[in-house]
Structures are given as C-alpha cells and as structure tokens.
C-alpha cells in the first residue's frame, strides 16, 4: 500500500490525515511540536463566518459549518471530549472595501441565510453599539481618531455564524479520529529534507536522521509552509506567494449586557473584529487596517510571543469606540499567533510541479473554519491526481455532502489569477 506523509498536525493537517485514513490510505502525520494543534491553530479566534469574496470561499465555509455543528458525526468515532460550536450570529458592518452587495449575491447563490440591517436595527440588536461611520481606521495618536462620525452604518447579519470553543481541541479531535481510522502520528519529528527522484517525491528526512519513504506528501506546515516548499524545491510555477505574519488578539471582559456569548462583529470600518466568549469574555482581533504596520516575519519562530501594550491598546480602544460600554484595561492580555498569508488572502489547496507533493497552505488567518472540508478537498485532489487527472487543466469538482453544492477547486489553485475581489485583509 502507498504511504501519504502529512507534514503538520495543526487543524488542517489533522483534517487531511483523517480524510486520507478514512479513504483507506496509509497515513503518517509528522509534527515537530510535542502535541497536536500547537501552531497557528492554538492561537485561532476560531470564528466561523461566511463572508468570503469568492463563490468557492462562501460555499466552503457554509459546508464546513454543518461539520462543526454535528462534530461527533463528522469525526465518525468516539474520541473523548469534543470541542463545541457556539452559534452567536455575526454582524458584518458596512464598509466600501468589502461591499455588502457582493456578499448578498454570493449568499443567495449558495443559500446562506442572512438579514440586511440598517443602523436602527443594528442598535436594537447589539446593546451599546455606536453605529457611526469612522472610516478610514486611524492610529490612536492621530488627532482625527476621536473625530465625529460622518455617517451611519448598517450591517449584513448571518444568524448561523459563531465560533468553535477550543481550536486546539478541534485539531486534537481530528487527529484522534485519524488515528482511530488507522493513521500514525509522529510528534517531535521535524522534517529537515524532502527527497525526490525522477520528478516525484519519494521521502522525507527527519531531524533525528531517520528517513520516511512516501508516495505522496502534503505540506500542511502552516506558517512554516514556505520553508518546507523551499526544502523540496517547490514553488517555481506558483502565481501566488505565501508569507508569515505576526498577529495579536486581545482578550478582555465583554461590556455589561453584551450577551454570553454575545454576537460576533466584523468591523473593518474601525479595523477590528470582535467575538464573545462564553463566560463573559471578548476577543478583539485586527483586520489589517492600512494605518497599522504589518508585522511580516522571515522566520515564524522569531515572532515575539507576548502581546504588546501598543497593539492591545489600539485594538481595544477601537473596539470601545464601537461598543461604548467596553472598558480598556491597562494591562495587555491576549494571544499572539502567526498567519500564513497568501498574496490575495485566499488559501492554496493544490498539487505542485513535483509529482506527489501537495500543498494546503496560505490559510491567511481565515481557514480554521474550513478545516473539516479542506481535509475532504485534499483527499479528493490526491485521489484524482494520483489516478491520472490533470487537475491544472481540469480542476477537481467537489460535491459537498451537507449542502449539495459543487465547489470548483480550481479556485484554490497555486496558479490561479490573483483574487482581485479580495478585501486584502484577513476577511479573505
Ligand atoms: C491569531 C489568529 C487568529 C485566527 N482566527 C481565525 C478565525 O477566527 N477563524 C478562522 O477561520 N481562522 C482563524 N485563524 C486562522 C487559522 O487558525 C489557521 O488558518 C489554521 O489554524 C491553520 O492551521 P494549519 O494546520 O495550517 O497550521 P498550524 O496550526 O500552524 O499547523 C502547522 C503545523 O506544522 C508543524 N510543522 C511546521 N513545519 C514543520 C516541519 N518542518 N516538520 C514537522 N512539522 C512541522 C508545526 O509544528 C505546526 O503544528 C487565525 C489564526 C491566528 C494566528
């Protein structure tokens, strides 16, 4: 039997391992960390939303949502304590950069339930919200930061959005299910070399000097994915690049009356996203507003792991501008993670120019939610390409089990045209 090696036991690699194992293939997952889900996955805000700029993006997120909702069924076996999906609804505040009309037309095509709200409805549904339009986002030191609003915002509301309670546990659940389906998990195993012969991958070399022979390899190395591609000499025909970026997410107490957990809010007008946490917490992340310097990294391992006072204060003050009862604590608390950012903030799920070498990379801070379906995408691509399909010329068409949608996987090609409809931010 042929062997698939999956590099990376984050939520994406664990999901791919599960689907390959479920398809009856021999799978070995290797991860350099001492546990499952300790990379980007552990820092994830795990928001599940459907506001993507492409049809394939919306359809994938909508299909995945059904997997999270029936998580035990998705896993297909008993793996102990499960992560939970919390349905909170999400209000995406209006912003010209990501026009509401575009999402509405995609939602209609895919069948995502939604409501269009004016500012009055927004105030009625989110206690204490300031519906002012403050665009563009500004730095705290900018004298115009506190300028009056120049208009009022409405929102696009999706009642079925929410978040996954414990992203690391989600990866652990997937990995445990993969093992139950026959996959082998090797932790503390760093891939330091990729061997090929005759234009085909044949094995990986590990840091301890051992070699694993393989017939296919999947790069699911998250922010380290570019490094693995370089080791394999892969990437020459990619039109889309990937690059690691450091990110902070502030953790604060939700304002009184916000709800437990309150509704999630995407607020590009002020440059933040907010999501409640059961127990009275609120997570505040950034949406890469132009005024903030982006923290690109050459090496993900060099990311400063501590939240900084400057980013914390900026993010939480912006959030407090929107949720007027929110207080800004004096001490920075939160998590730091690294995104694996693709040029157009849209992931790459594809084969490569090296036969047998596949990539599930460039997840751009927005693919946790899609992980259950990404495993199925990769299993379908691998099975069909290994069976002789020219996926570059005739991309796999994926039939989604829950929604009945057909998703053209060419949308995630390494050789696609840059997605010009992208918001150019984590929203995809
Ligand atoms: C702060 C933050 C907030 C986010 N919020 C959201 C959100 O709200 N919603 C959403 O959908 N997405 C969100 N994301 C994105 C989401 O979390 C990621 O897209 C997803 O977790 C990526 O998973 P992964 O398995 O590809 O990568 P990772 O979890 O990073 O896993 C990669 C694994 O590969 C291993 N590895 C790397 N190189 C090697 C090697 N050479 N040998 C062996 N092992 C190796 C690493 O140890 C790691 O465990 C967020 C991400 C961050 C950082």
- Give residue 37's pLDDT: 98
- Give residue 89's pLDDT: 98
- Find the 87 Cα to ligand 1 centroid distance in Å: 23
Nearest CA to ligand 1 atom 53: 337
Identify whether the C-beta of residue 82 lies closer than 8 Å to the C-beta of residue 71.
yes
- Find the 285 Cα to ligand 1 centroid distance in Å: 16
Structure confidence at residue 39 as a pLDDT band (50, 70, 90):
very high
The string of pLDDT tens digits covering residues 238-249 is: 999 999 999 999
Question: With pLDDT > 70 as the criterion, what percentage of the chain qualifies?
Answer: 100
In whole angstroms, what is the distance from residue 360 CA to residue 13 CA? 8
| Alpha-carbon dihedral sign for residues 143, 147, 150, 155 | positive
- Find the 222 Cα to ligand 1 centroid distance in Å: 5
The string of pLDDT tens digits covering residues 306-340 is: 999 999 999 999 999 999 999 999 999 999 999 99
Ligand 1 contacts CB of residue 363 (under 6 A):
yes
Q: What is the mean pLDDT of residues 270-298?
A: 95
Query: Does the pLDDT at position 422 exceed 90?
Result: no
Ligand 1 contacts CB of residue 234 (under 6 A):
no
- Give the number of other Cβ atoms within 10 Å of residue 233's Cβ: 13
Residues with Cβ < 8 Å from 311, sequence gap 6 or more? 248, 250, 286, 332
Kindly write down the DSSP assignment for every residue of 16-84, as one continuous string: HHHHHHHTT-EEEEE-SSSSTT-SHHHH---EE----SSHHHHHHHHHHHHHHHTHHHHH-S--SS---
Pairing of strands 216-219, 3-7: parallel
In whole angstroms, what is the distance from residue 428 CA to residue 424 CA? 7
pTM of the entire structure? 0.98
The string of pLDDT tens digits covering residues 196-233 is: 999 999 999 999 999 999 999 999 999 999 999 999 99
The string of pLDDT tens digits covering residues 119-150 is: 999 999 999 999 999 999 999 999 999 999 99
| Alpha-carbon dihedral sign for residues 103, 106, 112, 116 | positive
Ligand 1 contacts CB of residue 7 (under 6 A):
yes
Query: Does the pLDDT at position 427 exceed 90?
Result: no
Partners of residue 359 on adjacent β-strands: 219, 350
- Find the 40 Cα to ligand 1 centroid distance in Å: 3
Structure confidence at residue 376 as a pLDDT band (50, 70, 90):
very high
Ligand 1 contacts CB of residue 30 (under 6 A):
yes
Say whether 329 sits in a helix, a strand or coil: coil
Please provide the average confidence, as pLDDT, over all residues in the chain.
Answer: 97
**pLDDT higher for 2 or 194?**
194
Nearest CA to ligand 1 atom 25: 10
The string of pLDDT tens digits covering residues 63-103 is: 999 999 999 999 999 999 999 999 999 999 999 989 999 99
Q: Which atom of ligand 1 is nearest to the CA of 337?
A: 53
- Find the 41 Cα to ligand 1 centroid distance in Å: 4
Q: What is the mean pLDDT of residues 26-51?
A: 98
Token readout for 307 is 């939240």
Pairing of strands 85-87, 115-117: unpaired
Structure confidence at residue 428 as a pLDDT band (50, 70, 90):
confident
List of E strands, 161-289: 162-164, 184-186, 191-197, 200-206, 211-213, 216-219, 242-253, 264-267, 272-277, 281-286
Burial class (CB in 10 A: 0-12, 13-18, 19+), 120: exposed
In whole angstroms, what is the distance from residue 369 CA to residue 11 CA? 9
Query: Does the pLDDT at position 267 exceed 90?
Result: yes
Of 298, 201, 195, 314, the C-alpha closest to 244 is 298
Angle between helix axes 371-386 and 11-22 (nearest 10 degrees) is: 50
Strand arrangement of the beta sheet that strand 162-164 belongs to? 47-48, 162-164, 85-87
């Amino acid at each position: 039997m042929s062997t698939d090696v999956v590099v990376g036991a984050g939520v994406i690699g664990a999901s791919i391992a599960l689907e390959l194992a479920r398809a009856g293939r021999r799978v070995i997952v290797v991860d350099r960390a001492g546990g499952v889900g300790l990379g980007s996955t552990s820092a994830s805000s795990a928001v599940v939303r459907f506001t993507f700029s492409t049809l394939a993006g919306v359809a994938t997120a909508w299909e995945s949502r059904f997997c999270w909702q029936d998580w035990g069924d998705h896993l297909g076996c008993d793996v102990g304590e499960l992560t939970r999906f919390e349905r909170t609804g999400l209000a995406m505040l209006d912003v010209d950069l990501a026009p509401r009309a575009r999402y509405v037309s995609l939602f209609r095509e895919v069948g995502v339930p939604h409501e269009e709200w004016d500012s009055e409805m927004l105030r009625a549904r989110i206690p204490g919200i300031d519906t002012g339009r403050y665009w563009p986002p500004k730095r705290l030191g900018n004298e115009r930061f506190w300028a009056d609003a120049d208009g009022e915002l409405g929102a696009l509301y999706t009642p079925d959005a929410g978040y996954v309670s414990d992203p690391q546990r989600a990866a652990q659940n997937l990995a445990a299910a993969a093992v139950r389906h026959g996959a082998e998990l090797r932790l503390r195993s760093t891939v330091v070399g990729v061997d090929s012969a005759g234009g085909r991958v044949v094995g990986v070399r590990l840091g301890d000097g051992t070699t694993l022979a393989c017939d296919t390899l999947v790069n699911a190395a998250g922010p380290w994915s570019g490094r693995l591609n370089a080791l394999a000499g892969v990437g020459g025909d990619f039109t889309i690049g990937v690059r690691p970026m450091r990110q902070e997410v502030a953790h604060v107490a939700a304002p009184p009356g916000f709800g437990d957990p309150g509704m999630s809010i995407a607020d590009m007008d002020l440059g933040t996203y907010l999501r409640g946490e059961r127990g009275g917490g609120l997570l505040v992340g950034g949406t890469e507003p132009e005024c903030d310097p982006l923290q690109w990294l050459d090496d993900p391992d060099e990311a400063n792991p501590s939240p900084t006072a400057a980013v914390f204060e900026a993010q939480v003050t912006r959030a407090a501008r929107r949720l007027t009862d929110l207080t800004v604590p004096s001490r920075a608390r939160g998590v730091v993670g690294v995104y694996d950012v693709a040029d157009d903030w849209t992931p790459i799920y594809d084969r490569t120019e090296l036969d047998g070498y596949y990539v599930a990379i460039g997840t751009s801070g927005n693919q946790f939610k899609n992980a259950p379906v990404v495993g199925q995408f990769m299993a379908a691509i691998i099975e069909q390409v290994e069976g002789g399909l020219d996926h570059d010329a005739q991309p796999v068409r994926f039939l989604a089990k829950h929604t009945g949608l057909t998703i053209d996987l060419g949308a995630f090609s390494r050789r696609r045209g840059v997605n010009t409809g992208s918001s150019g931010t984590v929203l995809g």
